Amino acid sequence: MSLTPLGYLLLSVLLFLAGAGLSIVSARCERLAINLSSLLGVLGGAAGLAAALPVLLTGQGAAMAFDGPFAFARFTVRLDMLAALMVGVISLLALLTSLYAQSYVREYAGRGAWAMGLFMNTFIAAMLALVVVDNAFWFLVFFEAMSLASYFLVIFDQDEESVGAGLLYFLIAHAGSVLIMIAFFILYSHSGSLDFASFRGLKLSPAVASLVFVLAFLGFGAKAGMVPLHSWLPRAHPAAPSHGSAMMSGVMVKIGVFGIVKVGIDLLGAQAAWWGLLVLAVGAVSAVLGVLYALAEQDIKRLLAYSTVENVGIILMGVGAGMIGLATGHVALAALALMAAFYHLFNHALFKGLMFLGAGAILFRAHTRDMALLGGLARRMPQTALAFLVGAMAICALPPFNGFVSEWYSYQALFAMGHDGDFMMRLAGPAAMVMLALTGALAALCFVKAWGMTFSGQPQSAHAEHAEEAPFAMVLAMLLLAVLCALSGIGAPWLAPLFARVATSLTGGAAVPVAQGLTLHSGLFNTPASVSTPMLALLLVAAPIVPLLFMAVVRGGGVPRRHAGDAWACGYVTEKTMTVSPQGFAQPVRFMFAALYRLRDTLSPAAGFRRGLGATVAGAARVEPLWDERLIAPIVAGVQRIARRIAVLQRGDFRVYCLYVVVALVTLLLIAVR
Amino acid sequence: MPNLTMIVLAVAQGVILLLLAPLMTGVSRMIRARMHSRRGPGVLQDYRDLAKLFKRQDVAPAVSGGVFRAAPYVILGTMFLLAMALPAFTRTSPLPFLADLITFAYLFALVRFFFSLSGIDSGSAFGGLGAGRELTLGILVEPTMILSLLVVALIEGTTNLGAIGAGIGGNYLQAPAAIGLAMLAFAFTVFIEMGKLPFDMAEAEQELQEGPLTEYSGPSLALMKLGLGLKKVVMAQFLLGVFLPFGVAASLAPASLALAAVALPLKLLAVFTLAGLIENSMARGRFLLTSRVTWVGFGLAALSFVFYLTGL
Amino acid sequence: MENIALATILMPFIGAALVLCLPERTGKWLAALVALMASVGTLALAQAFAAGGKVPLTVDVFSLAGMPLVGITVDRLSTLVAIAVVVLGFLVVLYSTAYMSEGNREHPHVARPRYYAYLLVFIGAMAGLVLSSTLLGQLVFFEITGACSWGLIGYYQKPKALKSALKALLVTHVAALGLYVAAGWLFAQTGSFALTGIAALAPQAKIVVFLGIMLAAWGKSAQLPLHVWLPDAMEAPTPVSAYLHAASMVKVGVYIFARALYSAGPVPEVIGWIGAVMALATMLYGFAMYLPQKDMKRLLAYSTIAQLSYIFLGLSLSVFGSKLAFDGAVAHIFNHAFAKSLFFLVAGALSYTCGTRVLPNLRGVLKKSPLLGLCFGVAALSISGVPPFNGFFSKFAILAAGFELSRAHWLVLPLVLLALIESVCSFGWLMSWFGKVVPGEPSEAVASATPVPWAMRVVFVVLLTMCLASSFIAASWLA
């Protein structure tokens, strides 16, 4: 069966919705519900990939329009390069997490496991629809539906922390969507139609365009989890079930970035350089603060959530540089920077998804997220350990994995910005590069800690001691992601031009040569910088083989390796508690950067909000009875007073009433005679 | 793709640097000994140590895992790779597809990653502690390193190390203050990465930069020591290759190569001697206050960047 | 078509008389049957209207010397709102057959015949008011609803209930003075009570008529400053609150305003400004009053006040020439009726099964009664305006219209922004209560909950469906 890309996309959405619906229908039989939802998720993901790949490979988009039930909004659909990229990323991760969920959701048996399929599949379907609609109204509908579905995932555990995290998340997401709504409404008031196509052609004054951009930036940024609108992330992502966290961190925050790119570049055309500078600055700060807070965490999922903040920052740095390039007329620079951002978007989905799935596997078997209670899991869960190691290396941007490639391109883009631009750009580019370097070093500490505390050393709790390898579906999903991380790094010369094409579709310039043969180029200067990841990978694998062979020769006749005994503890017997703890490992950095950690508390508005709310509630409680006391009661009292006065007329004496009748008759006669 | 001569040159370069490493560490040891008014074991002692270690049994704690076992190979292999790709004997790098400033930075990060992870994986308290401190030093040093290299890269207009090295001679005349300061800042970084006081101390090495080595023994220890020694040489050569490429061959003519082959050990010797003299005239600092010292380096790098922006 | 309309209006009255004569047990089923027939009547009316190509029709029922006193008008507006009020009336009667019984943990009490009689008269009066083509007809039915609400609010005959009933009657009757003035003025200027005559008035006269109608509307729909009766009216039995204070009586106010705007042609802008500003004031006040409430029904009362002010805002914005605002406001009348009824009926079900409707005592409802938890969630999301539930679509239309108008009248912009802020805040507050009440471990009251009767379940399922579908129905009907 061969469909058009839009046809495959529709099929994909329908498959996910069918997965959701069938989960409800088979709610009684949980195993069936889990398996059905998982199967339909995998099929839906495959269909989504079938929709995205042709568009990405050929550069040929597709569009359609229908009349919806509402007169003010047509249902327009546009599958362009950017949308195809997002559809591809969503579908790929959805496919693998659905596979993973087949075993993972069993943990929730008896606690509403069928509902997991409902919410996950609706969530994914909403995201797929969101990225292709070309009308502001429908965009907002699907955006809110996505937040709604993921809200239910976050509160799934139904304990106090999850519900609190869910409320904060939903509130910030909703406030964000209201800001986006206002931005779209401003554009609507200028163009008279809610279609994005009408927004694209608008000629707005710089003030109005900037207002729209800032509103959209804040609204979508809240969804992306950039500093300072990130406080929901470290609470919500750990609370959600792990495959939900993988989708939320891997894909949903990217919808925020997608929105910023769509509004800033696609709709408004990146008119002013300060927009890009704002995005770049916020991205850089998010990157550094995100990873700084991550390395202080003891809960493995909170660590990963903060790391998402960091990576979103890196992506935003690329987007910011791209916007600056467009605004100042450096189209090639813009294309390179956007391409780096999109590549990192894709890579992060892969490795962060992998790591959350790994955290899920650990949670599944060792029943805790606290790294101080884990340890020694490498022996008991070897495949999970290997996959998680690949993910950790990828996220630290170590060659030859994919993180290295996208960060290399980001560096090159920032370098280009620092080399030929005006003074602001020449200052901002290198500053951003230094911050990126700092982020990389901090990430190394963070993820050595994450892997080391979890998988190395001795198990620190009973559950960790008795942990087993995760079930087959989970391990398969993780290993597939690990392989993809490796392939997208090694295969970068073939993958990079794809992202470059997506970038040039937005910048409208000529294609930037980012790869040639087996080498990646920065494509901009007379001596372009280059790196060849396939060769690098080959050499990295070959180089250790030489000492290995040497060792085999040398030790050929020697005593075999002894793998027993305790580590040295100055003569004391080694105890479990002697190994370095997560907090101890990060202690020097927490000490040296203490001011930045304090920033988190001093700038948090939570205490202020609580005080304000308390004052408002007290005030409202005082005001409520005032209407009765000040308005109704005096009127009633007044009326009763008047009534009492009038009541004097009711003497109760029959003769007085006769007198009244006579008086009335006489008065009327007199009037009639007049 | 690199042709045969370049591959041969690369491998030869790597091997030579690998063989020089124990000599250079031996020189450091001798300088320290002499400045402590000791006789010292001789500059060839490290070769003898390595030979002895290779004959010993390899012992690992029970709790150690695959990373612990694999780390020496990964570290030595990656360092060897870096040694092959540096511009050492020639102006440009023998492996141009690797000789990029960012690639180098991240290959160093790869080494640091595995070194620290092996420390935790050993299950030893000292190993874990040393690992944390190693990574922390990396955090403090990385911005300075990148910024100082960035200044010369911006002046040259590319991050390709070979091109930077090739153009640096002319550029000195263009922006002397910027490059000079950048060189000082980078030298500061190199000094730290080489594991010198005030950031390390032989007597307390287990807790500091060589903490992760605690549980290695026999051949694995030999490989690790070789790898770490090679790291010191690579860092020194990095400084020389980028900032002071005097005496290197401009072409592949045998005469200039021979000249370079003689000049290289001499330059390395000069660097190690200077480093040794500086380190042994200081005492160790408190680890948690290290950031105050590294700020100085960052300040130098930032100053050089300002000079670059203003065109000095 | 007029016969169907007349039958729909008169059937409930006849039914009420019959119910008074019958014993309690049969009386309640007769009441449900009559209400069902009336609902079918409105649906048939709508179907006939649609089949005839949606051509508006006005028929006079009583005329005096050629001047229509009471008439029937069948058009998009009246058919849509008629469906809402009568169908919800039926659902509430059905719900009451279960709620008003000994099984009710909070108010165990079997309903007297007068309860169903009042309820049926109310349904008839609502149908009559919605379908009326003259101001006089509206006035008559307006007063009938006032009288019925007195009877129903004070139904339990406790002192507080009687006091609240009297307060409601007096406040709405004072407000009705506005409608009297408007009717009188219209008659004086045009010689007839027909609503279509408003279009022929001079601008000054229009302002007077509209001010009168607005006063009556504010009183009946509990807007500032005539809102005082609604929170206390929560003394009524919960099905009554659901019907009167969500679906019908409070909708009288917005309906007469909407009908007047529909028939009036171009209206002086000052009316729009007055309406919009008062709507905003009420909205913000209503939200502020959410915060101290612990009784679920009082919280819902204030929520009703705030949502009605949204409708008033939409209608006021339509004065500036925006059809989108008008359609959005009418759609919101339709959507809000279903959503708020659902919310009130959930409160009733919680009273019935758990014996309390005080929010801090209710926790973990989902575990004990998934249907109630689901309904609570759906109702909260519909009221807050989260898609795909109905409230979002009508609110969006009103806000879009506001922004569209802000290009020409920039003062509209702060009003709309304040409305958006209120929307976000009330969303936060309602979801916060949702998080406390629905998920988690059941509290004492919830753990000992009795099962939900079948009649209530049926009503909930219908309302849940409408919470998803009603916005699409309204949008396509009004287009």
Predicted confidence at residue B197, as pLDDT, reads 65
CA proximity to B81, closest of B70, B97, B61, B59? B97
Average pLDDT over residues A539-550: 86
List, for residues A453-477, the tens digit of each pLDDT value.
999 988 888 888 888 899 999 999 9
Smallest CA–CA distance, residue C258 to chain A, in Å, is: 20
Q: Do chains B and C touch (3 or more CB pairs under 8 A)?
A: no
CA distance C402 to chain A (A): 9
pLDDT-based confidence at residue A242 (cuts at 50, 70, 90): very high
Find chain C residues with C-beta within 8 A of A240's C-beta. none
**Is residue A48's pLDDT more than 90?**
yes
Chain A residues 390-429 with a CB less than 8 Å from chain B = 393, 396-399, 404, 407-408, 411-412, 415, 418-419, 423, 426-427
Residue of A72, A167, A621 with shortest CB distance to C431:
A167
B18 → chain A, closest CA residue: A547
> Do A417 and A333 form a contact (C-beta atoms < 8 A)?
yes
The mean pLDDT of A610-627, rounded to a whole number, is 88
Chain C residues in contact with A175 by the CB 8 A cut-off are 424
Give the amino acid at C276: A
The set of residues, in sequence order, having a beta carbon less than 8 Å from that of A68 and lying 6+ positions away, is A74, A75, A138
- Tell me what percent of the residues of chain A surpass a pLDDT of 70: 99
Q: How far is A202 from chain C (nearest CA, A)?
A: 15
Q: Are A256 and A173 in contact (CB under 8 A)?
A: no
Nearest-CA residue of chain C relative to A168? C428
| Residue-level pLDDT at B125 | 84
Residue A303 to chain B, least CA–CA distance (Å): 17
Q: Return phi, psi of residue A127, to 5°.
A: -65, -40
Per-residue pLDDT of chain C in tens (479 residues, 90 and over written 9): 778 888 888 999 999 999 888 887 888 888 999 999 999 999 999 888 888 888 888 888 877 777 778 888 888 899 999 999 999 999 999 999 999 888 888 888 888 888 999 999 999 999 999 998 888 888 899 899 999 999 999 898 899 999 999 999 989 899 999 889 998 888 888 888 888 888 888 888 889 999 999 999 999 999 988 898 999 899 889 999 999 988 888 998 899 999 999 888 888 899 999 999 999 999 999 999 989 999 999 999 999 999 999 999 999 999 998 889 999 999 999 999 999 999 999 999 999 999 888 999 999 999 889 999 999 999 999 999 998 899 999 999 999 999 999 988 888 999 999 999 999 999 999 999 999 999 988 988 888 888 899 999 999 999 999 999 998 888 888 87
For residue B208, what pLDDT is reported?
Answer: 54
Give residues with Cβ within 8 angstroms of C277, minimum separation 6: C415
Q: How confident is the model at residue A442 (pLDDT cuts 50, 70, 90)?
A: very high
Q: How confident is the model at residue B250 (pLDDT cuts 50, 70, 90)?
A: confident
Q: Is the per-residue pLDDT at B203 higher than 80?
A: no
The pLDDT confidence band at residue A386, using thresholds 50, 70 and 90, is very high
pLDDT of residue C23: 83
State the count of interchain CB pairs (< 8 A) between A and C: 106
**Which chains would you list as touching A if contact means 3+ CB atom pairs under 8 Å?**
B, C
Highest mean pLDDT among A120-134, A648-662, B82-96, C244-258: A120-134
Instruction: Quote the ipTM score.
Output: 0.93
**Cβ distance of B109 and A438 shorter than 8 Å:** no
Cβ contact, residue pair A408, B102, below 8 Å = yes
Mean pLDDT of chain A: 90
Kindly determine whether residue A540 and residue B309, on different chains, have CB atoms separated by under 8 Å: no
pLDDT tens-digit map of A252-301: 999 999 999 999 998 888 888 899 999 999 999 999 999 999 999 999 99
User: How many other β-carbons are positioned within 10 Å of the β-carbon of residue C380?
Assistant: 27
Instruction: Name which of A399, A457, A585 is nearest B123 (Cβ-Cβ).
Output: A457
Residue A568 contacts B, CB cutoff 8 Å? yes
pLDDT of res. B199 = 67
CB A98 within 8 A of CB A45: yes
Confidence at residue A289, expressed as pLDDT on a 0 to 100 scale = 95
Residue carrying structure tokens 């509908």: A141
Give the distance from residue C420's alpha carbon to the nearest chain A alpha carbon, in angstroms. Answer: 7
- At residue B312, the pLDDT reads 63
Burial B246-261 (b: 16+ CB within 10 A, else e): eebbeeeeeebbeebe
How far from the centroid of its chain's Cα atoms is residue A326's Cα? 26
Whether A567 sits inside 8 A of B98 (CB atoms) is no
Residue B210 has pLDDT above 70, yes or no: no
Residue A393 has its nearest CB partner, among B97, B113, B139, at B113
Contact A398 B113 (CB under 8 A): yes
CB contact under 8 A, A569 and B125: yes
How far, CA to CA in Å, does A90 sit from each of A51, A98, A127, A246, C171? 12, 12, 8, 11, 57
Q: Which of A72, A170, A191, A630 to mutate to test the interface with C (most CBs of C within 10 A)?
A: A72
Bond into B198 cis (ω within 30)? yes
State the amino acid at position A635 in one-letter form.
I
* Chain A residue numbers touching B105 (CB-CB < 8 A): 437, 440
CA distance A595 to chain B (A): 13
Mutate which: A143, A152, A155, A189, vs C, most C CBs within 10 A: A189
Neighbouring subunits of B (3+ Cβ pairs under 8 A): A
A positions 442-471 inside 8 Å of B (CB): 442, 444-445, 448-449, 451-453, 455-458
**Kind and range of the H or E run holding A603:** none
Pick C111 or A122 by higher pLDDT: A122
So what's the pLDDT on residue A283?
Answer: 96
Sign of CA dihedral A36, A41, A42, A47: positive
Residue A223 makes CB contacts below 8 A (sequence gap 6+) with: A147, A173, A176, A177, A252, A253, A255, A256, A259
List residues bridging with C183 in a β-sheet: none
- Asked whether the beta carbons of C459 and C95 are under 8 A apart, the reply is yes
Tell if the CB–CB gap between A144 and C387 is shorter than 8 Å: yes
- Looking at the complex, report in whole angstroms how far the Cα of residue A221 sits from the nearest Cα belonging to chain B: 27
Q: Which residues of A touch B133 (CB under 8 A)?
A: 588
Count H helices and E strands in chain B, helices first. 10, 1
CB contact under 8 A, A174 and C386: yes
Least confident of A12-26, A41-55, A598-612, B59-73: A598-612
> Model confidence over A317-341: pLDDT tens digits?
999 999 999 999 888 889 999 999 9
**pTM of the complete model:** 0.92
Long-range contacts, stretch B176-180, CB < 8 angstroms, 24+ apart: B176/B312, B177/B304, B177/B307, B177/B312, B178/B151, B178/B304, B178/B305, B178/B307, B178/B308, B178/B312, B179/B151, B179/B152, B179/B155, B179/B243, B179/B304, B180/B304
Candidates C290, C387, C431; nearest CB to A141 = C387
Inspect the interface and report whether the beta carbons of B106 and A399 lie closer than 8 Å: yes
Total number of residues shown for chain C? 479
pLDDT tens digits along A479-513: 999 999 999 999 998 999 899 999 999 888 777 77
Mean pLDDT across B302-307: 92
Contact C292 A181 (CB under 8 A): no
Contacts of B106 in chain A (CB under 8 A): 397-399, 404, 407-408, 440
Q: Which of A145, A167, A189 sits opposite C404 (nearest CB)?
A: A189
Contact flag A620-C387 (C-beta cutoff 8 Å): no
